């Protein structure tokens, strides 16, 4: 028999230990995410995949908010975050600091997600766009890579928070 584990049997690190542990060199940038539930899901996923920081940009709402907290399940207290009005200014600043900028989007020329292990850079900023309009074109123009998740069905997109889980797992595998 393969017994299902209870929450207390998972041996998760404490919130304090999580805050102190070395993070993977990945930053998440949210470009005008409008759904509070999606924002909360990003926090929870960022906690699960040990990211350094989340930047909330443009119209993306900030914690604390009841609907963000509902899906974040406390991750707004463990994941470092910061609000920036201008995503373009933030991306330029990060590029100047030597960070590799990756927009998650569908464009004419993309790098498929399965090729992420071949990226040799050390530090990555992953940009996830608005639920309807995606990543701003000026941000795409500033990006070092445009990453695309291959899809095989009739729809041409995933929910942005689902997309985050898929992409962050691919990056986490680089560091574990």
Check if the beta carbon of residue 147 is closer than 8 Å to that of residue 113.
yes
Instruction: Output 17-20 pairs: Cβ under 8 A, ≥24 positions apart.
Output: 18/47, 18/78, 19/78
Domain region containing 96: 21-175
Q: Does 64 fall in a domain?
A: yes
Q: Which two tokens stand for residue 172?
A: 């986490």
Check if the beta carbon of residue 152 is closer than 8 Å to that of residue 110.
no
Q: Does 58 fall in a domain?
A: yes
Tell me the three state secondary structure of residue 66.
helix
Q: Does 35 fall in a domain?
A: yes
For every one of its 176 residues, what pLDDT tens digit does the chain have, with 9 covering 90 and above? Answer: 999 999 889 999 999 999 999 999 999 999 999 999 999 999 999 999 999 999 999 999 999 999 999 999 999 999 999 999 999 999 999 999 999 999 999 999 999 999 999 999 999 999 999 999 999 999 999 999 999 999 999 998 999 999 999 999 999 999 99
How many residues are given for the chain? 176
Q: Does 3 fall in a domain?
A: no
> Would you state the pLDDT for residue 145?
98
- Burial label, 12 (beta-carbon count in 10 A; 0-12, 13-18, 19+): exposed
> Would you state the pLDDT for residue 55?
98
Q: Does 1 fall in a domain?
A: no
> Would you state the pLDDT for residue 143?
98
> Would you state the pLDDT for residue 123?
97
> Would you state the pLDDT for residue 166?
98
Q: Does 5 fall in a domain?
A: no
Q: Does 74 fall in a domain?
A: yes
Check if the beta carbon of residue 125 is closer than 8 Å to that of residue 99.
yes
Q: Does 116 fall in a domain?
A: yes
Chain centre to alpha carbon of residue 25? 12
Number of domains in the chain: 1
Q: Which of 174, 161, 62 is nearest to 124 (CA)?
A: 174
CATH of the domain at 61: 3.40.1280.10
- pTM equals 0.96
């Amino acid at each position: 028999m393969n017994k299902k584990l209870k929450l207390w049997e998972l041996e998760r690190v404490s919130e304090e230990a999580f805050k102190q542990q070395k993070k993977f060199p990945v930053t998440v940038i949210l470009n005008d995410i409008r759904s509070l539930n999606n924002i909360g899901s990003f926090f929870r996923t960022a906690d699960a995949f040990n990211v350094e920081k989340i930047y909330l940009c443009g119209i993306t709402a900030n914690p604390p908010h009841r609907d963000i907290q509902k899906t974040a399940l406390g991750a707004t207290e463990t994941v470092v975050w910061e609000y920036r009005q201008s995503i373009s200014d933030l991306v330029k600043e990060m590029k100047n600091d030597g960070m590799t900028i990756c927009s998650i989007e569908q464009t004419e020329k993309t790098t498929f997600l399965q090729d992420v292990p071949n990226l040799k850079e050390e530090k990555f900023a992953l940009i996830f766009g608005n639920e309807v309009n995606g990543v701003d074109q000026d941000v795409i123009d500033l990006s070092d890579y445009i990453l695309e998740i291959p899809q095989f069905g009739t729809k041409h997109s995933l929910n942005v928070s689902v997309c985050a889980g898929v992409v962050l797992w691919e990056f986490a595998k680089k560091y574990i």
